[in-house]
Chain A
């Protein structure tokens, strides 16, 4: 009874967060220009999107981009999660930090960093390789589908890792050991035992990443668009920001977004079908064990070298190039000569910005509140979805997931409309409208992660607590939360980083009282100051580096205790 009662407000809250933008989406798609106050109703937007010439030619590119990036990020992310969480790879604490670090970098900056490294004429790697190998042509061209997939993989990888790591960490190691003792090789253990066991978590990550790839624009816009590789999200951008009519074509974007939502629903359904046997995969049994890393043997140092080569290429190089760029007077090819002209001007300009204090405070509040709310709500939603037998639980799961398929610009439009209408909730133009936006969009990530872990949690553990006389909230607080804590903290850090770096929503909802760091950065970037934007990126990374470092210290202390 208590469980059902607790589900009700949760369902209402989610409905408010997810259904309201969805309804507005439907209404907007039927309005001539996509504004609710437009006169009359029309199917023109639907016709223009689905019968017009623009959408369908882009589907091929979109599929290659989304499937390629998702597959690559899953493969690498799973491998890294396994190496870090389940093997005796040396220096795992540092590896964790290195994987997570790019999370702080806005994808726009990361894409720019890769342009600086791999553009065909001025890319640093290209230049270095041409010199070293005596090539007369650049070996890489970032401005290509391959480049888009590569950079998007790098953008997604930390998220994949963070989604999967708790699942790996929580798996009863005896399941691996039993296979190992049976004579199976490490490869067999991984492919036949570990991966199938983690199928729900991996599938959830795959579904999540596919939708993200469908909706993201930073990478396709920075790397694909200059060379005319258009994906479906490019259409959203052009219709929203550069519409030829002078007003954004919200009606068309809304009609197109319905496609995203349908794809999302289809994938979510496939996911639910494939993991219906949720109970089967309860791998945290509550039977005591001391997690013990799997010995890699002679592969140990090979894996170490591989992981660090990867980090050098994927994390250190782009972050270093951003750092160097932030010290250059203007964005240029990095050679020995330009090193003479390094300047701290951009950093000083950023640090001396009169809006900096306000922006830092706003960003900190938004990131803290959003991260905490998403972490809490994710746990509650997952618990309800995974544990309760109430009829509405699958719907609740979908509600938490749906906003992921709605392009950020439409969430923004929806929120603007809602809070300009309900003026008795006075959050229009304030930081709180951003918090609402972030909680709405990032909840999808949070619930995918916590679902994965709570599915692993054996029902006995909670039932034992219930039998011992603990009530609903006590079980949640004393049993479920501590066991799911690694995942909850991972969600918190992920949301914190994303809320701190999120740009397009912040710009969309920018008003009189909610300047944040990313909009400051955008000020520099769009004012022609790439290096100054890079300087902001460097500071964002530094802040996250400290945060992640602190987190890892806590994790280590907890492990030792």
Chain B
């Protein structure tokens, strides 16, 4: 549905040229919810705005539904208003001089709908986002969450080829954000709208996306489903950016099918997933919540001896800081299974949860 190939965008700044987007390529299937995830300044918003036609990349090609909307070499650059898109902006960009209804009806009107048809369409869209009762209100008299919904309704009021979201939830409070997240996902499924979503919030990305592209410094680090990126990332950056990660320097001794045997300060650890890491320097990824705590003296493969330094009680969960062979590791358990500080423990790293990565 969407294909971006070799997008590059360089800005001239006082400190010299700066590559905001550096050779970015990806494909998105129809109906897919695709997220560009990364820290601020990673080029995700520039990429999104390039798809929208609000930025012009220096190089590359963008095709929507097989039609090239941008092609630097062929000199194709369809303006934003002819790309048939819906977009939700971080600042909502709700027009303050119009009512809620007129805001939402606008895309229909500019596509030739009569005022009445546009109003009807807008009401349907407002009902979808649960704002039907506020249609006549002035757009400035809305709360942030309501403005968010107006912006959303405006984006989906027409059946568009592509929905674009530029950090739409980042200005909402935590509770509202989670609620909107669910609604947004729901709506996207119902409309089966192909969507590109930009965020720096990994939880949001995980909850919403079919696939996520992790970006750093203008480049895509890796693309995958939330499961893949969480459980079997290929890059230490992904591992650290998505979820909590314990990364231990290691030496890959030998490959073993899809897995590998790693030598670390914790001892030799078997991993069931090693991607394409070759023998030599590597690192071991294990998530704190996957590490098991056992009574001291429990033996077996993938175990190590340690002592609890401190515990934080989080309600359902407990966070332990454990000293293992001079390394400080975080271990998360159910709070019912928490250990007191000073307790000697044996840690077990389940091989199916251990991942070998390239060295950091």
Q: Tell me whether B111 is interfacial, beta carbon within 8 Å.
A: yes
CA distance A24 to B214 in the complex (A): 73
The reply to whether A178 and B87 form a contact with Cβ atoms under 8 Å apart is yes
CA distance A188 to B55 in the complex (A): 20
Partner of B82, one of A183, A193, A196, A280: A183
Partner of B107, one of A183, A186, A199: A183
Q: Tell me whether A450 is interfacial, beta carbon within 8 Å.
A: no
Looking at the assembled complex, report how far the CB atom of B118 sits from the nearest CB atom of chain A, in whole angstroms.
Answer: 12
B-contact 0/1 string along A5-21, CB 8 Å cutoff:
00000000000000000
The reply to whether B93 and A280 form a contact with Cβ atoms under 8 Å apart is no
**Which among A65-73, A282-290, A316-324, A336-344 touches the partner chain?**
A282-290
Chain A residue numbers with a CB within 8 Å of B89 are: 174, 177-178
A-contact 0/1 string along B54-95, CB 8 Å cutoff:
111000000000000000000000011111111101110101
CA distance A285 to B85 in the complex (A): 24
Give 13 A-B contacts (CB < 8 Å), ordered by A residue.
Answer: A174-B89, A175-B93, A177-B80, A179-B95, A181-B54, A181-B85, A182-B106, A182-B110, A183-B158, A184-B81, A196-B95, A196-B97, A287-B90
The reply to whether B106 and A184 form a contact with Cβ atoms under 8 Å apart is yes
Chain A residue numbers with a CB within 8 Å of B80 are: 177, 180-181
The reply to whether B91 and A180 form a contact with Cβ atoms under 8 Å apart is no
CA distance A550 to B56 in the complex (A): 31
The reply to whether A181 and B81 form a contact with Cβ atoms under 8 Å apart is yes
CA distance A292 to B111 in the complex (A): 25
Q: Tell me whether A185 is interfacial, beta carbon within 8 Å.
A: yes
The reply to whether A295 and B79 form a contact with Cβ atoms under 8 Å apart is yes
B-contact 0/1 string along A263-283, CB 8 Å cutoff:
000000000000001011111
CA distance A391 to B154 in the complex (A): 39
* Contact (A177, B110) CB under 8 Å given A182-B154, A185-B81, A280-B140: no
Chain B residue numbers with a CB within 8 Å of A186 are: 81
Q: Which residues in chain A, 147-192, are within 8 Å of chain B measured between CB atoms?
A: 172, 174-175, 177-186, 188-189, 192
* Contact (A199, B97) CB under 8 Å given A181-B81, A295-B79: yes
Q: Tell me whether A197 is interfacial, beta carbon within 8 Å.
A: yes
CA distance A186 to B140 in the complex (A): 24
A-contact 0/1 string along B152-174, CB 8 Å cutoff:
00100010000010000001000
* Contact (A181, B110) CB under 8 Å given A277-B140, A295-B79, A297-B79: no
* Contact (A180, B14) CB under 8 Å given A175-B93, A197-B95, A280-B138: no
The reply to whether B81 and A183 form a contact with Cβ atoms under 8 Å apart is yes
Chain B residue numbers with a CB within 8 Å of A185 are: 81, 110
CA distance A189 to B98 in the complex (A): 14
CA distance A183 to B162 in the complex (A): 13
Chain A residue numbers with a CB within 8 Å of B111 are: 183
CA distance A175 to B139 in the complex (A): 13
A-contact 0/1 string along B168-205, CB 8 Å cutoff:
00010000000000000000000000000000000000
Looking at the assembled complex, report how far the CB atom of B47 sits from the nearest CB atom of chain A, in whole angstroms.
Answer: 15
Looking at the assembled complex, report how far the CB atom of B213 sits from the nearest CB atom of chain A, in whole angstroms.
Answer: 21
Q: Tell me whether A512 is interfacial, beta carbon within 8 Å.
A: no
CA distance A178 to B138 in the complex (A): 18
A-side residues, CB < 8 A to B, are: 172, 174-175, 177-186, 188-189, 192-193, 196-197, 199, 277, 279-283, 285, 287, 289, 292, 295, 297, 560-561
Q: Tell me whether B267 is interfacial, beta carbon within 8 Å.
A: no
Main secondary structure of the interface of A (DSSP, over half): helix
The reply to whether B97 and A197 form a contact with Cβ atoms under 8 Å apart is yes
* Contact (A280, B154) CB under 8 Å given A174-B89, A181-B52: no
Q: Tell me whether B288 is interfacial, beta carbon within 8 Å.
A: no
Q: Tell me whether B336 is interfacial, beta carbon within 8 Å.
A: no
CA distance A279 to B52 in the complex (A): 30
CA distance A183 to B83 in the complex (A): 8
A289, closest chain B residue (CB):
B91
B40, closest chain A residue (CB):
A288
Chain B residue numbers with a CB within 8 Å of A279 are: 140
CA distance A182 to B111 in the complex (A): 9
B-side residues, CB < 8 A to A, are: 13-14, 52-56, 79-87, 89-91, 93, 95-98, 106-107, 110-111, 138, 140, 151, 154, 158, 164, 171
Looking at the assembled complex, report how far the CB atom of B139 sits from the nearest CB atom of chain A, in whole angstroms.
Answer: 8
Looking at the assembled complex, report how far the CB atom of B53 sits from the nearest CB atom of chain A, in whole angstroms.
Answer: 7
Chain B residue numbers with a CB within 8 Å of A177 are: 52, 54, 80, 87, 89, 93
Looking at the assembled complex, report how far the CB atom of A121 sits from the nearest CB atom of chain B, in whole angstroms.
Answer: 50
Chain A residue numbers with a CB within 8 Å of B83 are: 181
Chain A residue numbers with a CB within 8 Å of B138 are: 277, 280
- A-B contacts counted at CB < 8 A amount to 94
* Contact (A181, B86) CB under 8 Å given A172-B91, A279-B140, A295-B79: yes
Looking at the assembled complex, report how far the CB atom of B318 sits from the nearest CB atom of chain A, in whole angstroms.
Answer: 36
CA distance A183 to B159 in the complex (A): 12
The reply to whether B95 and A560 form a contact with Cβ atoms under 8 Å apart is no
Chain A residue numbers with a CB within 8 Å of B96 are: 197, 280-283
Looking at the assembled complex, report how far the CB atom of A460 sits from the nearest CB atom of chain B, in whole angstroms.
Answer: 11
**8 additional contacts, CB 8 Å, given A183-B107, A282-B96?**
A179-B106, A181-B85, A182-B154, A183-B81, A183-B111, A192-B106, A280-B138, A283-B96
Chain A residue numbers with a CB within 8 Å of B13 are: 560
Chain A residue numbers with a CB within 8 Å of B151 are: 178
CA distance A186 to B151 in the complex (A): 20
CA distance A282 to B52 in the complex (A): 25
Looking at the assembled complex, report how far the CB atom of A355 sits from the nearest CB atom of chain B, in whole angstroms.
Answer: 46
Which of B81, B107, B111 counts the most chain A CB atoms within 10 A? B81
CA distance A178 to B85 in the complex (A): 10
A178, closest chain B residue (CB):
B93
CA distance A285 to B128 in the complex (A): 28
CA distance A295 to B56 in the complex (A): 10
Looking at the assembled complex, report how far the CB atom of B270 sits from the nearest CB atom of chain A, in whole angstroms.
Answer: 47
* Contact (A180, B54) CB under 8 Å given A188-B110, A280-B140: yes
Which of A172, A181, A561 counts the most chain B CB atoms within 10 A? A181
Looking at the assembled complex, report how far the CB atom of B222 sits from the nearest CB atom of chain A, in whole angstroms.
Answer: 27
Chain B residue numbers with a CB within 8 Å of A184 are: 81, 106-107, 110
Looking at the assembled complex, report how far the CB atom of B255 sits from the nearest CB atom of chain A, in whole angstroms.
Answer: 47
CA distance A40 to B55 in the complex (A): 74
CA distance A283 to B140 in the complex (A): 11
The reply to whether B93 and A182 form a contact with Cβ atoms under 8 Å apart is no
CA distance A277 to B95 in the complex (A): 13
Looking at the assembled complex, report how far the CB atom of B114 sits from the nearest CB atom of chain A, in whole angstroms.
Answer: 16
Looking at the assembled complex, report how far the CB atom of A89 sits from the nearest CB atom of chain B, in whole angstroms.
Answer: 16
CA distance A192 to B171 in the complex (A): 27
Chain B residue numbers with a CB within 8 Å of A280 are: 96-97, 138, 140
Looking at the assembled complex, report how far the CB atom of B189 sits from the nearest CB atom of chain A, in whole angstroms.
Answer: 23
The reply to whether A560 and B14 form a contact with Cβ atoms under 8 Å apart is yes
The reply to whether B95 and A175 form a contact with Cβ atoms under 8 Å apart is yes
CA distance A550 to B140 in the complex (A): 40
Which 5 A-B pairs have CB atoms at the shortest separation, nearest pair first?
A182-B107, A178-B93, A174-B93, A287-B91, A184-B110
Looking at the assembled complex, report how far the CB atom of A283 sits from the nearest CB atom of chain B, in whole angstroms.
Answer: 7
B112, closest chain A residue (CB):
A183
CA distance A181 to B97 in the complex (A): 18
The reply to whether A182 and B54 form a contact with Cβ atoms under 8 Å apart is no
Looking at the assembled complex, report how far the CB atom of A559 sits from the nearest CB atom of chain B, in whole angstroms.
Answer: 10
The reply to whether A183 and B54 form a contact with Cβ atoms under 8 Å apart is no
Looking at the assembled complex, report how far the CB atom of A456 sits from the nearest CB atom of chain B, in whole angstroms.
Answer: 10
* Contact (A181, B87) CB under 8 Å given A197-B96, A279-B140, A281-B97: yes
Looking at the assembled complex, report how far the CB atom of A88 sits from the nearest CB atom of chain B, in whole angstroms.
Answer: 10
Looking at the assembled complex, report how far the CB atom of B71 sits from the nearest CB atom of chain A, in whole angstroms.
Answer: 16
Chain A residue numbers with a CB within 8 Å of B164 are: 181
Looking at the assembled complex, report how far the CB atom of A454 sits from the nearest CB atom of chain B, in whole angstroms.
Answer: 16
B106, closest chain A residue (CB):
A182
Chain B residue numbers with a CB within 8 Å of A287 are: 90-91, 171
Chain B residue numbers with a CB within 8 Å of A295 are: 56, 79
